[in-house]
Structure 1
């Protein structure tokens, strides 16, 4: 599938997703929000996909919200923020939390600008690999706004509360080494996309059912109770033991390393 604003190419079980608005440094218009949301929904249904690499076109990840574009149309701004219930995710939030909700490992490749909404989207990924020159910022306060794209779901898990407040209050721009020191990114690499691809290929060697269960267990248990963690682990393990991919994983370890996994099970 390909659109003007987001491209999706699936090769050997790995989905390559590109934010594709280079003339605006991949800034987020209403149409781009819709395109990202559509791709996430498509990936959620495609059980052949076992890893995702998310990146931006032409050396930048995303410069954040295209304020002029969104502000020029009150109806589009309203559609971005609308939700039926307060606890539901609206369109602006789904482009971040949607990546966390996919039962698939998601790796973000961060280059150039990664500001505001771009950082919020990147926080939705499971792993963030940045180029040395990449710069990140939780920038919404500069526009008199609160970060409202669900990036806090991940931010509260990866850095201390006082650091999160400091970054959000100040809207400071961080270099890649500063972001790494805070834990905002996972790794700095001169060849971030190639590194992400190697990691995705490594992930492809393990059971897609196990990876889905691991992601669900860690994301939901990170701030949950011990009782819910123990229950979730036990239930996931029973489901995995009953699945065919667990048997295939054992065969790959002992007899046939190249035996293919079956498509991810629907109950993930």
Structure 2
């Protein structure tokens, strides 16, 4: 297995996750899928972490699937796609949808290439901040493939169906400005990593329990029924009202702005 494919550091409650295969423009090998999946599982169980910043090494986010690497081993391709039940997420899908399933805000920093599988991973983040020169593409059709890494879970919520079909059929490469106009990215910044850090600190001023509940409610209710939305909001609010962090949030607003939150509840 290749070493140090993912760099992880945790500073002041912020997890910095960096895709680290710069010699291949951070392309996704089988080992890299394993490494990303492992980091997501690690973050899910670490209640010290209240925000995640996801980036790529040396000025690129990810150039997509390393087709040669994966195709050279049929057994690895099978492991990548295998699942016990059709509705479960396989390894290829977990590296995208896994970020959505974390009870933590996830901010992706997009620079340079963000193609194919890289775009699928980026779509798993809650917020995407891109540099002006970043290029994005849903590129799988060029290889005779369908996008199968669960990026559609987010894509169907942020752009119209005809636009999604057009981008996927054509495999066109988008500029950051085009992606912003479509809604695929949240904002463009001259210093996207610094912008992400500033946003993470801003988010961490609010209760980690509230952030977890907000992410759960919005992700599950966005395309769900009104009845399930109403039930989820009410149940989440009751849990928040009973928690310590709700009291701390009120204290921070009225008495002690720097009072620390306690570890978040288990929401997922």
What range is the shorter-chain TM-score in?
over 0.9
Structure 2 residue 134 is matched with structure 1 residue 134 = yes
Match of 1:81 in 2: 81
Listed as ranges, the matches of 1:58-207 within 5 Å are 58-207=58-207
Alignment partner of 1:185: what SS? Answer: coil
Contact 2:213–2:267, Cα closer than 8 Å, also in 1: no
CA distance in 2, matches of 1:225, 1:94: 25
Match of 2:15 in 1: 15
CA distance in 2, matches of 1:124, 1:222: 15
CA distance in 2, matches of 1:120, 1:16: 19
Structure 2 residue 241 is matched with structure 1 residue 246 = no
Alignment partner of 1:16: what SS? Answer: strand
Offset of residue 77 of structure 1: 0.3
Offset of residue 267 of structure 1: 3.5
Q: What TM-score does the superposition give when structure 1 sets the normalisation length?
A: 0.99
CA distance in 1, matches of 2:40, 2:174: 28
Contact 2:212–2:267, Cα closer than 8 Å, also in 1: no
Match of 1:45 in 2: 45
CA distance in 1, matches of 2:87, 2:225: 20
CA distance in 2, matches of 1:247, 1:48: 19
CA distance in 2, matches of 1:226, 1:203: 27
CA distance in 1, matches of 2:8, 2:177: 30
CA distance in 2, matches of 1:119, 1:252: 38
CA distance in 1, matches of 2:177, 2:202: 26
Match of 2:54 in 1: 54
Deviations 1:199-252 (A, max 9, x none): 000011000000000000000000011111000000000000000000000010
Alignment partner of 1:177: what SS? Answer: helix
Offset of residue 66 of structure 1: 0.1
Alignment partner of 1:132: what SS? Answer: coil
CA distance in 1, matches of 2:100, 2:28: 19
Alignment partner of 1:52: what SS? Answer: strand
Match of 1:228 in 2: 228
* 4+ runs deviating over 6 angstroms: none
Q: What TM-score does the superposition give when structure 2 sets the normalisation length?
A: 0.99
CA distance in 1, matches of 2:194, 2:258: 23
Offset of residue 266 of structure 1: 1.9
Alignment partner of 1:87: what SS? Answer: coil
CA distance in 2, matches of 1:69, 1:20: 16
CA distance in 2, matches of 1:221, 1:91: 25
CA distance in 2, matches of 1:218, 1:225: 12
CA distance in 2, matches of 1:117, 1:260: 38
